[in-house]
Amino acid sequence: MPLNYCAPTRVAIALIALLALAACDPQRISELKEGVSTEADVRDRFGAPENVWDEPGGARTLEYNRQPAGQVNYMITIGPDGHMTALRQVLTPENFARVMPGMRMDEVRRLLGKPAKVTPYTLKNETWADWRFVAPPNQPKAFTVIYGPDQFVLRTQTGDDMDAPEFKGGR
């Protein structure tokens, strides 16, 4: 007889699995070496990417998203020779500063990876996209990009991550 879990239980199981995946990331990263590891090595450790971005000159960047449960997103570049040339965590203050009014939604997605949450505000004619990250020393934060009806950036903001466990259930 198959197990029949209710929706909240399925969501909880999925979140636990995502957290376990993210907890293994440092080990997986330590096993990869730039210029040596291949795309097969990356996929063996990280699985199928969320997205694959074509780069100039035949390189490709694999997007590994750890949102909404995690607070990082990885972009792993594979050179035209099939070897890893870069592995970077993209949810950084430097990348957030690159998001400017007038950028297209797809350009922001390419820079930061898939957001943790996208919320349309129909009456305001805006869409808000949130990325969860950790600010030093260990503060859960959310970087928010506000898009207009044309899907171009209007403005950005950074604030406390209200979805972080320390904010749920009060302090």
- Which pLDDT tens digit goes with each residue over 139-151? 999 999 999 999 9
Residues 79 and 65 in one domain: yes
Whether 83 and 15 share a structural domain:
yes
The number of folded domains in the chain is: 2
46 and 19 within one domain: yes
CATH number at residue 59: 3.30.1450.10
Report long-range pairs for 120-129 (Cβ below 8 Å, ≥24 apart): 125/149, 126/154, 127/151, 129/105
Provide the residue range defining the domain that includes 20: 7-89
pLDDT tens-digit profile of 37-88?
Answer: 999 999 999 999 999 999 999 999 999 999 998 999 999 999 999 999 999 9
Domain boundary residue, one of 89, 110, 139: 89
pTM for the full model? 0.79
Residues 80, 100, single domain; the answer is no
